[in-house]
Amino acid sequence: MRRYSAFAIAREGARYHQGWERAWNSPVPKKKYDVIIVGAGGHGLATAFYLGKNFGITNVAIIEKGWLGGGNTGRNTTIIRSNYLQDPSAAIYEKARSLYETMSQDLNYNVMFSPRGVIMLAQTQSEIRGYQRTAHANALQGVTTEWIEPARVKELVPIINLDGPRYPVLGGLWQARGGTARHDAVAWGYARACSDMGMDIIQKCEVTGVMQEGGKVTGVQTTKGDIACDKLAMVVAGNAGDLAGQAGFRLPLDSVALQALVSEPIKPCMDVVVMANTVHGYMSQSDKGEMVIGGGTDGFNNYTQRGSFHHVEETVRALIETFPIIGRLKMLRQWGGIVDVTGDRSPIISKTPLGNTFINCGWGTGGFKSIPGSGWAMAELVAKGEPGPLAADFGLNRFREGRFIDESVAAGVAH
Amino acid sequence: MLTLHCPNCGVMADETELHAEGEAHIKRFGPGSSDEEFENYLFERKNPKGVHFERWRHVAGCGKYFHAARNTMTLEVYGTYSAQTLAPPKTLVNAIKKKHPEWEGWA
């Protein structure tokens, strides 16, 4: 792999950009791999990357039914934060956030990580208490967050209306090291690094069955033929329940649509990420100037990647009250992704009832921010066959044993 | 926008009047059941790609529960029926089967 650098740009500029290589290979699948990862989104590619980087396992195929990073990885609102209430969540999300800080250097790919700060607005009395509690929990977990008063919110976000008639801003939880990153670049950067390590990224190849023998996985049936493997990692977000069904077990998940939208581009007006969980809306401004807006999920099971219009209306109505300046903006695009939601709103990184098969799913509405941490923990699980400290609490058995990691109160809506 | 016929009060209810309540016909387990049975009843869901039988509540209408058969891949609604039953009506199951011969049926 030729490294990207200022020198490379100068070199290619001098020869009409004829020397750029393809960022990753698209090979024909081999007959057998040590590890097959189903799903070439952020989490699947990160799993592959850390399998190679941390454990030296590079005979790996990443199989994707659509195109690379075309699911939720390319559909989220790119928010990165780690201000979670429960210890296991804070640990894995903070690991992810810290890996984002050096990701561009680690991958030699500019993921445009922008630690611009994230505010979660408190707009009810119970949110004030909830976020102050989270701030105390974060202090104990070593995650730097801070409770801030309305005057400080106004200082950070001059366009905000503190005195909305329905939901006045009463303060906020501020994480200065949170922010955003370019979501496509995260997938592309990992894909390029994986391909460089000799891994095969196989796109437009759908898994249609899981082959097993004596309680252990032996391979997968795909639209490009059967592929054998020693270990199988399922990292398919909204489609996890369907794939698990092919392997013969059920999951505690419901797949629902989550929507986002962007406005026409405007001049820079807001340089932090603002989340308003009570009113189901969150907003940041992209480098192109578009206001990127996320809303709440639909209540019903859905695999169509489009959601109900009234949720968009609810979100925008609430945001206009909080940010009157956006009232006349036109919206350019609106889209949906299918998120897999667990009962306790925490993910699953776990062994499964089928031997040598591992699953990473249930990130619900908060998957993007966790990509590197999730891949790190999943790679350890796949390589060693047992979860490491980051993944230990996120096993499937927690539902049977009643050990929930309950983030539904702290962060049930917006991520 | 999703509209469902409420079999309790007879109106065509708009999605904004309704609340989705998840999978229908879940077998319930009580005291004395095993951990596995509780896990299955409380958490594990079919979450199918395709035909889904589910509970809805007409919250901003009559307030009562009913069941619906809906396709999660196309958002097509096959029909709604009373919640006072342990299984979907045979006529509805047969109608869906006729439309989608490859569907494995209600189980």
Q: What SS3 class is residue A229? A: strand
pLDDT reading at B71 higher than 70: yes
Describe chain A by its helix, strand, coil percentages, rounded to 5: 35, 25, 40
**A299 touching chain B per CB within 8 A:** yes
B65-71 vs A60-63, strand pairing mode: unpaired
Domain spans, chain B: 3-99
| Res. B13: pLDDT tops 90 | yes
Q: Mapping DSSP to helix (H, G, I), strand (E, B) and coil, where does residue A90 land? A: helix
E strand or H helix that includes residue A296: strand A290-301
CB contact, 8 Å: A313 with chain B?
no
Beta strands across the sheet bearing A118-122: A146-148, A171-175, A118-122, A273-276, A281-285, A290-301, A253-265, A331-342
Q: Inform me whether the C-beta atom of residue B35 falls under 8 Å from chain A C-beta atoms.
A: yes
Query: pLDDT tens digits, residue range A124-137?
Result: 999 999 999 999 99
Using the predicted structure, report yes or no on whether residue B83 has a pLDDT greater than 50. yes
Is the pLDDT confidence value at A409 over 70? no
Chain A: closest CA distance from residue B84 (Å): 21
Which residues, in sequence order, are CB contacts of A74 under 8 Å at separation 6+?
A183, A184, A187
Q: What is the pLDDT of residues A108-161, one digit of tens each?
A: 999 999 999 999 999 999 999 999 999 999 999 999 999 999 999 999 999 999
Is the pLDDT at A265 greater than 70, yes or no?
yes
Provide the pLDDT for residue A414.
Answer: 43
Fold of domain B3-99: Folate-binding fold (3.30.2270)
User: Which tens digit of pLDDT belongs to each residue from A36-55?
Assistant: 999 999 999 999 999 999 99
Supply the mean pLDDT for chain A. 94
For residue A96, give the 3-state DSSP assignment. Answer: helix
Average pLDDT over residues B76-93: 95
**Which residue out of B43, B53, B73, B104 would a mutagenesis test of the A interface target, given it has the greatest number of A Cβ atoms within 10 Å?**
B43
Average pLDDT for residues A72-90, to the nearest whole number?
A: 95
As a whole number, mean pLDDT of residues B31-52 equals 94
Q: Is the pLDDT of residue A317 over 80?
A: yes
- pLDDT for the residue numbered B82: 96
- CB within 8 A of A371, min separation 6: which ones? A42, A43, A46, A73, A96, A186
ipTM above 0.85, yes or no: yes
**How confident is the model over A177-211, as pLDDT tens digits?**
999 999 999 999 999 999 999 999 999 999 999 99
**Residue that the structure tokens 């801070």 belong to:** A146
Q: Give residue B105's pLDDT.
A: 86
Task: Indicate whether A413 pLDDT > 50.
Answer: no
Scanning the structure block, which residue is given the tokens 């991958």? A107
Using alpha carbons, select from A180, A171, A150 the residue that is nearest to residue A278.
Answer: A171
Give percent of chain A above pLDDT 70. 98
A350 CB burial (10 A radius; 0-12, 13-18, 19+): buried
CA-nearest of A8, A27, A26, A3 to A18 is A8
- Establish if B39 touches chain A: CB-CB under 8 angstroms: yes
Pick from A300, A338, A361, A400 the residue to mutate for testing the B interface (most B CBs within 10 Å): A300
pLDDT value at A259 more than 60: yes
Q: Look at residue A167 in the predicted model and tell me its pLDDT.
A: 86
Considering only CA atoms, which of A215, A242, A253 is closest in space to residue A357? A215
Report the SS3 class of residue A398.
helix
